[in-house]
Amino acid sequence: MKLCPETSENLRKRCNLPPLSSEYNKDVGFKTHLVTANPSIIRKRFQNLLWSRKTFVDDMKVYNHSYIYMPAFSMKTGTEPSLRVYYTLADVGANQTVLFANPNFLRSIGKFWKSRGIHAKRLSTGLFLVSAALGLCEEVTIYGFWPFSVDLREQSISHHYYDNELPYSGFHAMPEEFLQLWYLHKIGVLKMQLEPCEDLPSPPTS
């Protein structure tokens, strides 16, 4: 899917350290101003930074001078990996700046969406980020929040643009989140981009 072109005025926020290699640039761009880093990703992908940290530091370079936003204090299990990220990047003088989310903000956002019908163990990182963006930005456009395995053209798609790793069963309520975001789109609070910005050939019909 071809996304809308970047402009200098855009504030680009991304979820969970996605790859921005050349094979994806034409679709997702390369600019990043803020990217979230779930502590579980630090544990699984980078072995909690207990051994070699070079791979992590090298992977962060693609985000240039962006902020790395982490929920360090919302759960006890997230504190140690978040601090390891902070000190690893500080020790090497990296361009990125680590920000720790205010746990009171995260709890308030969770209560807000629960009161509007989202019943899950935990909100997705994307919904937290959209909630923050709505409080900071005059206009918000979101991409990649389609929670289904086929697109509007009934073509199979992966869960993420770079892999098909699904969330733990029962942990997030992606369809419920989508319905709430779609409602915000319908009433003009934000724009949800579901179709390609550039025309693509229609799929063949039998």
In the 8-state DSSP scheme, what is residue 6?
A: P
Answer whether residue 204 is part of any domain. Answer: no
Structure tokens at 196: 């390609």
Q: What's the pLDDT band for 29 if we cut at 50, 70, 90?
A: confident
Q: Is 117 left (phi over 0), alpha (psi -120 to 50) or beta?
A: left
Residue 206 within a domain? no
Per-residue model confidence (pLDDT) at position 122:
87
134-170 pLDDT, tens digit per residue, is 998 999 999 889 988 888 888 898 888 878 787 766 6
Structural domain contains residue 202: no
Domain span at 121: 13-192
Contact (CB, 8 A) for 44 and 77: no
In a domain, 151, yes or no: yes
Tokens describing residue 87:
């000190």
Q: Please give the Cα distance from 185 to 189 (Å, whole number).
A: 6
59: domain CATH number is 3.90.1480.20
In a domain, 140, yes or no: yes
CA 151, CA 27: separation in Å to the nearest integer? 16
Average pLDDT over residues 79-104: 97
Residue 3 has pLDDT above 60, yes or no: no
Alpha helices by DSSP H, listed for the chain, are 22-28, 39-46, 54-60, 76-91, 103-114, 125-136, 174-186
- Tell me how crowded residue 166 is: count the other CB atoms within 10 A of its CB: 13
Instruction: Select the highest-mean-pLDDT range: 4-8, 104-108, 192-196.
Output: 104-108
CB 35 within 8 A of CB 14: yes
What is the pLDDT, as a whole number, of residue 157?
87
Instruction: Using the structure block, give the residue that is written with the tokens 């989310």.
Output: 101
Whether 72 is covered by a domain: the verdict is yes
Torsion of CA 89, 133, 170, 1, to 10 degrees: -90
Which CA distances in Å does 129 have to 52, 124, 188? Answer: 30, 9, 18
- Give mean pLDDT, residues 105-119: 92
Q: Is residue 61 part of a domain?
A: yes
pLDDT exceeds cutoff 80 at 43: yes
Average pLDDT over residues 86-92: 97
Q: How confident is the model at residue 206 (pLDDT cuts 50, 70, 90)?
A: very low
DSSP SS3 for 156: strand
According to DSSP, the β-strands at 97-100 and 141-142 are: unpaired
pLDDT band at 8 (very low <50, low <70, confident <90, very high): very low
Q: Residue 5 has what pLDDT?
A: 44
Domain membership of residue 126 (yes or no) is yes
When mean pLDDT is compared over 21-30, 65-74, 119-128, the highest value belongs to 65-74
Please indicate whether residue 93 or residue 148 has the higher confidence score (pLDDT). Answer: 93
Specify the 3-state DSSP secondary structure of 69: strand
3-state secondary structure of 191: strand
Find the mean pLDDT for residues 75-97.
Answer: 96
Number of domains into which the chain is organized: 1
pLDDT at 200 > cutoff 80: no
